[in-house]
Amino acid sequence: MVWVTDFEKALSQAKASKRPILVTWRCLPCKQCAEFDKEVLDGSPALDPLLRRFVTVRLTDAALLDERYFPYKTHQDLDLSWWAYFLSSEGDYYGVFGGKDHVSDSTRISEAALANSMKRILAHHYDPRRSEWEVDLPVGYASQKKSIPTNLRGYDLLDEIRPELGRAFQTYGACIHCHEVGDMLNMEALDSGTFTLEQFTGQWPLPENVGILLDRNDGLLVKKVTAGSPAALAGIQSGDQLGMANGMRLYGQADFRGVLHRASAKEDSIQIAWMRGSRIMSGKITVRLGWRKTQNYWRKTVYDGVYGPGMGFFPVKGPKSGKGQGLSVKPWMGPNPANRPVYATGLRPNMEIVAINGMDSDMETRKLIAWFRLNHKPGETVTYKIRGGKEFTYVLPEK
């Protein structure tokens, strides 16, 4: 397989050959989805014949995300280190592929799922009726002029609080990670007052949030519908095949999750159509406040993002961690602990913290950090209790 690394060159090739475009985005330093990335690059008997029918592009720097072709603000899960876009020969948007949850990197994606999405894309691309359907997003849908992450106001805002991720870092030729783009968008929302916790904590909802369990390898086949769920009330049943939602054609699970992602975090109605055998069915999925709730602690923008304060240290596993005896963490404060404000409270790196403001449940590190950020605000006073009963109070910095 030939993977082009210049998108403009790939676009010219696609226009000349009339082939659709597959663009994969990969953050090379991140381990997440590394195995799947290798599977796609190496190819296989199932993937190779399909990949050859696309102009295949591989990009590894989120700084190249051009909104004219890649509507990343609304159509990309920026907490993933592997993501794919399907585009027409002219660069119009068809759909996306990718996904993850708190269970694993592979719960939502597979080689078979990608193959099925590609087959659907190819069938759509070469259908002579395609232009009449008006379901593709045209080039310039999100931005009429070239617009990349470094043009964002959030880039400057992020640079102010994390210069190591901003312009100084870029000077040395380092790439921008997708989760950093997510941080930029969150910075903009926080700065403008449009940030909502419901939207932030419920990014890219799972189909299960509306009562649908999809077959991972098929991508659109409904395996199960939860009784009384929004999907069940809409009329969807096990064995149905999802087809469209809110005017967007669906090619795989990521496309459906994208529709859910763009829906309101409060009340909303999602128009949906599906196939039941040879019959076309349609209905409306109605959601209420709280419908997006999900496990989000694995997201980099959540546990290490720009929302919420840090603990004043990094929590490393304590001697009782994972033994069913409650919270057990030690406060790592770096090579110079005395330079940390929390050090002035009397807390020391060798101490074992067993409760934070009374919360004493044992948690995996990222889950604990995410819990802390989501449940505390700058300026609040936090009490760290160590084994033996002694407590230390710490006022979280305003910035």
In this structure, of 31-35, 173-177, 296-300, the range with the lowest mean pLDDT score is 173-177
Q: Which helix (H) or strand (E) holds 154?
A: helix 153-161
DSSP structure string for 270-294 = EEEEEEETTEEEEEEEEE-TTTT--
pLDDT at position 160:
86
Distance CA(44)–CA(23), nearest Å, equals 18
What average pLDDT score do residues 88-108 get?
A: 97
pLDDT at position 159:
87
Pick the CATH number of 7-127 from 3.10.180.10, 3.90.1150.10, 3.40.30.10, 3.40.50.12280: 3.40.30.10
Average pLDDT, the chain: 95
- Phi then psi for residue 253, to 5 deg, are -60, -35
- CATH code at 308-395: 2.30.42.10
Same fold, 7-127 and 308-395: no
The percentage of the chain sitting over the pLDDT mark of 70, rounded to a whole number, equals 97
Neighbours of 375 (CB within 10 A): 12
Which pair of tokens denotes residue 262? 């763009």
| CATH level 2 (architecture), domain 207-287 | Roll (2.30)
Indicate the domain borders of the chain: 7-127, 207-287, 308-395
Q: Which helix (H) or strand (E) holds 93?
A: strand 93-97
- Give the three-class secondary structure for 180: helix
- Give the three-class secondary structure for 74: helix
pLDDT at position 360:
97
Tens-digit pLDDT profile for residues 153-190 = 999 999 888 776 555 445 545 689 999 999 999 999 99
pTM: 0.94
In this structure, of 160-164, 207-211, 325-329, 379-383, the range with the lowest mean pLDDT score is 160-164
The one-character DSSP state at 399 is -
pLDDT at position 168:
47
Distance CA(219)–CA(175), nearest Å, equals 31
Q: Which of 241, 223, 233 lies closest to 278 in space, CA to CA?
A: 241
